[in-house]
């Protein structure tokens, strides 16, 4: 497959993933919610945290010119991010949206809950919105980075990774932060 065909494929994959995530927020939730679902947000945060460490390790190893370790670590990070996506989709298929500040879990953040949440809610929403924006935009670039790296197109790989690496790292780090901030509002 040539670069142009793979780029088109990566855009198509990214659009499909984005569409699935949007649809998950529209469709009705099933009546039956498997018990494992409540553990998925923590699993997702652990995966994101692990990916953050792997991405930093990958950067270290490429600076040391250890291409084999760099490649293995990136393949692991890619696999874990794929697992994250599956877990994320499962969670949002089965579970209603959790809102920051919704202490009574009625799906509405009323004036009292809003006042109690204070400025931290605004900080949370800024982090969440930038996380979502970056996550929705980065996927085709991650896919192209992998394609070029695996095909040893080193110069093209470097050009795209210069942008995709910091954004992917931001997404994984903010994923953990979002979980830490929202976790008090999950129901048991």
Token pair 């095909």: residue: 151
Provide the mean pLDDT of the chain: 93
Task: Report whether pLDDT(66) > 80.
Answer: yes
Task: Report whether pLDDT(188) > 70.
Answer: no
* Neighbour tally for 96: CB within 10 Å: 12
pLDDT band at 26 (very low <50, low <70, confident <90, very high): confident
Q: Are 149 and 157 in contact (CB under 8 A)?
A: yes
Instruction: Tell me the mean pLDDT in the region 124-146.
Output: 93
- Each residue's pLDDT tens digit, 103-126: 998 989 999 999 999 999 999 999
More confident call, 54 vs 107: 54
Fold topology of 10-185? 1.20.120
- Each residue's pLDDT tens digit, 4-13: 898 899 999 9
> Exposed (0-12), middle (13-18) or buried (19+): which is 177, by Cβ within 10 Å?
middle
* Residue 69: per-residue pLDDT: 97
Please state the three-class secondary structure of 100-130 as a single string. Answer: CCCCCCCCCCCHHHHHHHHHHHHHHHHHHHH
pLDDT band at 90 (very low <50, low <70, confident <90, very high): very high
């Amino acid at each position: 497959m040539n670069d142009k065909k793979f780029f088109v494929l990566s855009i198509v994959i990214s659009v499909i993933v984005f569409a699935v995530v949007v649809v998950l927020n529209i469709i009705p939730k099933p009546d039956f919610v498997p018990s494992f679902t409540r553990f998925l947000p923590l699993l997702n945060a652990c995966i994101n945290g692990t990916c953050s460490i792997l991405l930093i390790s990958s950067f270290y190893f490429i600076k040391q010119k250890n291409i084999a370790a760099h490649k293995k670590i990136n393949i692991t990070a890619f696999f874990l991010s794929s697992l994250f996506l599956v877990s994320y989709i499962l969670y949002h298929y089965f579970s209603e949206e959790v809102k920051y500040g919704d202490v009574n879990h009625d799906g509405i953040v009323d004036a009292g809950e809003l006042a109690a949440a204070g400025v931290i809610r605004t900080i949370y929403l800024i982090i969440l919105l930038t996380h979502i924006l970056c996550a929705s935009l980065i996927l085709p670039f991650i896919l192209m980075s992998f394609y070029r790296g695996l095909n040893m197109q080193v110069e093209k790989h470097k050009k795209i990774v210069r942008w995709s690496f910091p954004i992917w790292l931001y997404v994984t780090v903010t994923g953990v932060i979002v979980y830490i901030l929202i976790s008090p509002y999950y129901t048991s």
